[in-house]
Structure 1
Amino acid sequence: MMRKNYYQKLAFMVILLTILLAFQKYTSKDKDTFPEVKFIANSSVSANLSDFDPNSLNQEQWQKLGFSEKQITTILKYKDIVGGTFTSKEQLKKCYAISNEKFEELKKFILLPETAEKNNPKKFSSFVKKEVIVNGKFNPDIVSAQDWIKMGFSERQAEAIIKYKNYLGGSFISKEKFRECFIISPENYSKLEPYLLLPVKTPESFKAVGTRYPEKIKVQYHTFDPNSLDVNGWKNLGFSEKQAQIIINYRDRNLRGNFKSPEDLQKCFVISPEKFQEIKPFIRLSPEAIKKEEIKQEKTDFAKTDLNTITFRQLIEFGLDEKSSGSIIGFRKKLRGFVNKQQILDTYNIDKDLVQKLINIAPLDISGVPKYTLADAPEEWLKDHPYFKYSADRIIFYRITYPDDKKILKFLKLKPEYEERMKLYLK
C-alpha cells in the first residue's frame, strides 16, 4: 500500500513539473506583434469614372463629378460663351470653376482633343467666338433674335436673351437687370452698356410686381368691334404693343381681315383664357363685316391660291373638313413648306380624293421653303424637321469631322426612300 502511494505522488509531481516547464516556455516566447492598421481613405471621384464628353453632360451628371451647383452654373454659362460646345481640353481647363487639381483628375477621361485643330478651321468653325459689335445706341427691348446674331451672338445665345426678356415680362427694365442675363458675359456687357437705352437702376415698383410677370393693367372696358381696332385700340384694352400687333396680324393674315365670332378671337395665342373671359362680354361683331367676309370667301380663286400659303378657312371653303384641313396646315408647318404636291397627298387623316382635286387646281410656290446643306443646317431645324429629326444627332456628330453632305449621307446608311425625302430640303 505504501509503495502504491509513493508511485501516485511521483506521477503527480512529474505531471506538475511538466506543466510548469510548458508554462515557462510559453511565457518566455517573443510576443507576436499585431499587424499595422491602415485606414483607407475615401476613393476619389475618378475611381468610378469612365470616358465622357463634357458637351453632353447635364446638371445632375456634372454634380456626380463632384461639382457644386454654383460651379455647374458657371461651367454651363462658360460653355454658352464659347459658342455652345467645348472644342478641346485646353479650352475646358480655362473655366475658372474647374481647379487645376480637379482638371488633372478628370483629364484622362475627357473625350476631347488636347487643343483645337488650327489646321482644320472648318471643323470647329461653327463654334468660333465672335466679337460683339455695336453700331450705335439701341433699346434692347425691341431687338430681335436676328439682330442679336448680327451683333455677334450665336443663334442659341440670341434665343436665350429673348427668353430672359420674356421672363422679365417683355422688357429688360434697366441696365441692372440686363446685366443679370447669364448669357451676357461681363466683357460683352461692358461693351454694350454705353449704348443701352435703359435706366441705370431698376424701379422699386418692379420688385413689388415680381420678375416673372409684368404688372397687370387695370382696364376700363367698353363695347368694341375687334374687326375695327388698330394697335392703340388693343393697347387700350390692356395689351402690349407687341401683343396688339400679333392680334392684328392674326386677324388680317389668318382670318383674312375679320373675326367672325368671339371664338375666333379666343384662338389667338396671345389672348389668355382669363383675358378672353374679361373682354368677352364687351365684344360686338358687326354683321356687315361678317357678311363681307362670307362674300370674300365665296370668291376665293383656288387657281391662284398658293398651296404653301393657303389658310385653314380656305381649305374648309374648298370642302375639306376640319380634320383634313388641320392635318395639311400642321404638316406644312412642320416641314416649313411643301416642295412637291405629292407631300400634300401623303398627309395623314385627309380626304385624298378631295385633296387630289385641290392640288390639280392650285399652284405650289416653293421659293420660300428653307433649304440647307447638312453641314450648315441649324440644330433646331434638324431636330424638329420630320425628315431629319430621327437622324439629327448623328448628322451633328458626323459633320464636325466631315463637313460634306455626300460623306454624311454615306455614314447615315439610310434607306433610299428616306434619303430621297431628305434631299428635297437640301441645297
Structure 2
Amino acid sequence: MMKKNYYQKLAFLGLLLLSLFGFKKYSDHKEDAFPEVTFISESLPKEILSEFDPNELDQNQWQKLGFSEKQVATILNYKKVVGGKFLSKEQFKKCYAVSPEKFMQLQQFILLPETNKEAKSGNFNSKNFEKKTVHVSNKFNPDLLSQNDWQQMGFSEKQAAAILKYKSFLGGTFVSKEKFKECFIINDENYQKLEPYLQLPSKTPADFNSYTAKYSKKKTQISPFDPNTLDLEGWKALGFSEKQASVIINYRDRNLKGSFKTLEDVKNCFVISAEKFEELKPYIRLTAATMTKSSDDKKPEMKQEKTDFSKTDLNSITFKQLLEFGLDEKSAGSMIGFRKKLGGFMTKNQILDTYNIDKELMQKLLDIAPLDNSKVQKYTLVDAPEEWLKNHPYFKYSADKIIFYRLSNPDDKKIWKLLKTKPEYEARMRLYLK
C-alpha cells in the first residue's frame, strides 16, 4: 500500500514538472515575431482599368484586377464582416489583402466616397454609377462596335470607353471569346448574356501575344495605295477583316460602278470608320487611269441620284436601294421576300430575324431608315381570311386551329385561350391583329 502511494506521488510530481516546462516554453515563444505576410499584387495596366464599385465585383472580376484566389476570398469575407457592403475607400483600404501599392493603383477608379463620414453624410452622389442592364438579341462582332454601340447595349460611357481601350491593348481585336471574357468590365453575368451572340473564335491562338500584337500594329507601315486596285487581301493588309474587305469591294464595284472617284466616296463606305479613314487618308492615291469610265460621265442626264436612306421607308425600300446601301443580292432578296410574306414589317427587329441577312450591315440601315407600318394589313382572329392565315409566317402553323375554334367561338379572347400558344409566338401574331 505504501509502495503504491509512493508511485502515485512520483507520477503527480512528474506531471507537475512537465506542465511547468511546457508553460515556460510557451512563454518564451510568445515573444517571437509573427512572420510578415506578403501578398502578390500583379500590376494591371491602367489603360484597361475603369471606374468600378467594389460592392458589385464578383470573384472573377477581383481576380482580373490582379488579386489571387486567396486574396479574393479574404476581400469577400471582409466585406461580410463590415456589414456586407464597403462604405468608403477608407474602409476598403483597411482590408489586409489589399496592399498599399495595390490600393494606390486602384484608388482613382473606386466609386466610393473617401471616408465613412462622407458616406454617412449623404453627400456622395451614386446615381451616376447605377448598375445598368446589358441586353443583346442579335449576333455581333465586338471588334466592329463603337463606343455608342456599347452604350446602347447597356454599358455606361466610361465602361464602354474602357472596353475599347482593352481592345486596343490586345492589338485592335478581341481575338477570341476567351480574351473577351478577360476584359475587367465584363463580369460573369454579362458574359453569359453576350457569349451566345459573339462572333469570335472560342479559343485564343497559341501564339497570340497581346503586347506583340499591340506594338507590331503601331509599327505597321502603310504605303501609298490606289483603292481602285486593291483586292480582298489588299484591304485585309490594311487592317480590315475579311468580311469588311468584302463589303468595301462590293460597295466599290456595285454601288460606285467599279471605282472610287473621290476621297468622300471612300469615307462614305459604312465599314470604314472615321478614325480608320483619317489613318488611311494620307496614303490614298486616286488616279484617272483606274477610275471606271461609266455612262454617267457621258450622259449626266442618266445619272442616278444617291438615295437618302434617312427618308426611305423600310416597308417600301427596293432591291436596288438595298444593293446601293451595300447589302449583297442574297441579303437584299431575303429581306424583300420576308417582307412580302409578312405583308410588311411592324417592327425593325423583324428585319433582323430574316434568314441569310447581313445583320451587321442591316443594323446600320435600321439605325438610319424609318419604318412606316401604318399601311400593313391587320385582322382579328375571327375575320382573318383563311388564305391569309395559312400563308402568313406567324399564323400558318396555327391556322387550322383558329379556323376550327372560331366556328363555335367567334370571339378572339376565347380563341386565344383555346390556342394555348407560347407567349413569344402570341406576341408575334398580335403584331398583325387589330
Q: TM-score, normalised by structure 1?
A: 0.33
Q: TM-score, normalised by structure 2?
A: 0.33
